[in-house]
């Protein structure tokens, strides 16, 4: 049992919700009435408050802007038909947040602040949870360094915040993917396993170049040989080959340990499909395709959930799929959606009731 931290609450006088329909929402564009903010000073978290969503006033010298000491998480909240609210696997995101914090030389967030902050914030803004299919309340916890100092060193002060965004699907249609051989997302010893803001900033140029070639995202390959697959854009990747599913292993430290990735592995096992986590070369994928065994390729992530890949291009070799004929990933999505909407039993204890 964790002790409840003292959270100071200041509510809006009038909700903005009346001016927004919670149907057919884009991803991450609208924000709820309130946000959580806490400060790290003198070795402890203080000034924990939930207050109206508003701009921040920061000194232009704050360290995060200059040196990128910034991390974040993505989590989703849902409600069932009776109006009960649930967060999907928040403790797993907290664990990963603190792993990112450690790698970036930032302080950990204690479980009581994270969980009680989430619980109270979502409870206050619960009317913002959409109930349309493929919609949810996207939760964005983040932390950044705030020392007004230009020397390169870990900051002494930080801000932890949570903002909420009622949201629809991140990708609305099957994606076309370009296998990246020039740029690198992550190398062993780097920060590929963290949700550091810098990982996403560095992905923008390669992604824009792939878009100019007519693709939606890149499939990242390893830094040394550009031979082993890592992730797709902002998602983990799965390949269904024959009667097994394959996904890159996490041991190299170059791949994010996705909470959706972990849930998908469990659901595949529930479906009786063996999952193999290993390093996977692009040649193996192509050989499987040539042999007629590559059945499905899909990405997984909190924002993206399950995203089918309809085309994969490696150099001049193009693999195309008719995703309407797929069976495995649609069933995973159906099972995951049923758990999240409380229509199926939560046998793995993933739904945290608020
Ligand atoms: C998420 O899936 O929550 C992510 O962090 C991806 C995000 C960059 C849109």
Domains of the chain listed by start with CATH number: 8-169 (3.30.470.10), 175-339 (3.20.10.10)
The mean per-residue pLDDT over the stretch 230-245 comes to: 96
Residue pLDDT, tens place only, 209-234: 999 999 999 999 999 999 999 999 99
Out of 16-25, 120-129, 237-246, 286-295, which region has the weakest mean confidence (pLDDT)? 16-25
Across the chain, mean pLDDT equals 96
Q: Does residue 4 carry a pLDDT above 90? A: no
Q: Of the residues 194, 234, 257, 299, which should be mutated to test ligand 1's pocket, given the most ligand atoms within 8 Å of the CB?
A: 234
User: Of ligand 1's atoms, which has the minimum distance to the CA of residue 195?
Assistant: 5
Query: Hey, what are 316's tokens?
Result: 């001049």
Q: Does residue 2 carry a pLDDT above 70? A: no
Q: Does residue 277 carry a pLDDT above 80? A: yes
Distance 163 CA to ligand 1 centre (A): 14
Beta strands in 208-304 (DSSP E): 217-221, 229-232, 236-241, 244-248, 274-278, 294-301
Please tell me the residue having the least CA distance from ligand 1 atom 5: 74
Q: Of the residues 74, 142, 163, which should be mutated to test ligand 1's pocket, given the most ligand atoms within 8 Å of the CB?
A: 74
User: Of ligand 1's atoms, which has the minimum distance to the CA of residue 138?
Assistant: 3
Residues 6+ apart with CB under 8 A from 148: 59, 61, 62, 63
Coil, helix or strand for 26? coil
Distance 94 CA to ligand 1 centre (A): 15
Distance 275 CA to ligand 1 centre (A): 24
Residue 3 pLDDT grade (very low, low, confident, very high; cuts 50, 70, 90): low
Q: Among 214, 206, 272, 208, which residue's Cα sits nearest to residue 244?
A: 272
pLDDT at 253: 94
CA-CA distance, 63 to 153, in Å (whole number)? Answer: 9
Please tell me the residue having the least CA distance from ligand 1 atom 3: 74
CA-CA distance, 32 to 128, in Å (whole number)? Answer: 7
Distance 151 CA to ligand 1 centre (A): 30
User: Of ligand 1's atoms, which has the minimum distance to the CA of residue 258?
Assistant: 2
pLDDT at 352: 97
Distance 72 CA to ligand 1 centre (A): 9
User: Of ligand 1's atoms, which has the minimum distance to the CA of residue 170?
Assistant: 9
Q: Give Rg (Cα) of the chain.
A: 21
Residue pLDDT, tens place only, 19-60: 889 999 999 999 999 999 999 999 999 999 999 999 999 999
Task: For the chain, give the number of residues.
Answer: 354
Instruction: Classify residue 331 as exposed, middle or buried by CB count within 10 Å of its CB (0-12, 13-18, 19+).
Output: middle
Distance 60 CA to ligand 1 centre (A): 27
Please tell me the residue having the least CA distance from ligand 1 atom 8: 234
CA-CA distance, 354 to 350, in Å (whole number)? Answer: 13
Distance 259 CA to ligand 1 centre (A): 11
DSSP string, 139-206: EEEEEEE--B--SSS--S-EEEEEEEEEE--S--S-EEEEE-SSS-S--TTSSTTS-BHHHHHTTHHH
Tell me the pTM.
0.95
With b meaning 16 or more CB within 10 Å and e meaning fewer, what string describes 86-107?
bbbbbebbbebbbbbbeebebb
Q: Of the residues 137, 304, 305, which should be mutated to test ligand 1's pocket, given the most ligand atoms within 8 Å of the CB?
A: 304
SS3 for 336-351, per residue? HHHHHCCCCCCCCCCE
The mean per-residue pLDDT over the stretch 291-319 comes to: 96
Distance 305 CA to ligand 1 centre (A): 10
Contact 155, 63 (CB under 8 A): yes
Q: Which residues line ligand 1 (CB under 6 A)?
A: 74, 200, 234, 301-304
Q: Does residue 243 carry a pLDDT above 70? A: yes
User: Of ligand 1's atoms, which has the minimum distance to the CA of residue 72?
Assistant: 5
Residue 353 pLDDT grade (very low, low, confident, very high; cuts 50, 70, 90): very high
Distance 170 CA to ligand 1 centre (A): 9
Residue pLDDT, tens place only, 129-147: 999 989 999 999 999 999 9
The mean per-residue pLDDT over the stretch 277-296 comes to: 97
Distance 115 CA to ligand 1 centre (A): 20
pLDDT at 19: 85
């Amino acid at each position: 049992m964790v002790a409840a931290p003292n959270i100071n609450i200041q509510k809006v006088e009038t909700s903005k919700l009346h001016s927004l329909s919670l149907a057919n929402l884009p991803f991450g564009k609208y924000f709820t009435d309130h946000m959580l903010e806490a400060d790290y000073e003198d070795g402890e978290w203080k000034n924990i408050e939930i207050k109206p969503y508003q701009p921040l006033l920061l000194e232009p010298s704050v360290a995060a802007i200059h040196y990128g000491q910034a991390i974040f998480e993505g989590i989703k909240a849902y409600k069932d038909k009776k109006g009960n609210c649930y967060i999907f696997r928040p403790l797993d995101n907290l664990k990963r947040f603190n792993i990112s914090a450690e790698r970036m030389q930032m302080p950990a967030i204690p479980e009581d602040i994270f969980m009680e902050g989430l619980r109270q914030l979502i409870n206050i803004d619960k009317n913002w949870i959409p109930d349309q299919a493929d919609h949810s309340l996207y939760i964005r916890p983040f932390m950044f360094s705030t020392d007004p100092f230009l020397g390169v060193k870990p900051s002494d002060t930080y801000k932890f915040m949570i903002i909420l965004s009622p949201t629809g699907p991140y990708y609305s249609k099957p994606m076309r993917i370009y296998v990246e051989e020039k740029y690198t997302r992550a190398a062993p010893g780097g920060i590929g396993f963290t949700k550091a803001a810098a990982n996403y900033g560095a992905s923008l140029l390669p992604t824009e170049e792939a878009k100019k070639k007519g693709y939606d995202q890149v499939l990242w390959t390893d830094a040394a040989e550009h031979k082993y697959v890592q992730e797709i854009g902002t998602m983990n990747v799965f390949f269904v080959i024959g009667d097994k599913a394959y996904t890159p292993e996490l041991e190299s430290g170059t791949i994010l340990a996705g909470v959706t990735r972990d849930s998908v592995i469990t659901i595949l096992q529930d479906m009786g499909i063996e999952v193999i986590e290993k390093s996977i070369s692009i040649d193996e994928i192509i050989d499987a395709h040539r042999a007629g065994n590559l059945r499905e390729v899909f990405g997984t992530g909190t924002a993206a959930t399950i995203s089918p890949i309809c085309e994969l291009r490696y150099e001049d070799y193009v693999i195309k799929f008719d995703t309407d004929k797929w069976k495995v990933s649609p069933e995973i999505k159906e099972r995951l959606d049923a758990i999240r909407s409380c229509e199926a039993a939560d046998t793995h204890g993933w739904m945290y009731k608020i």
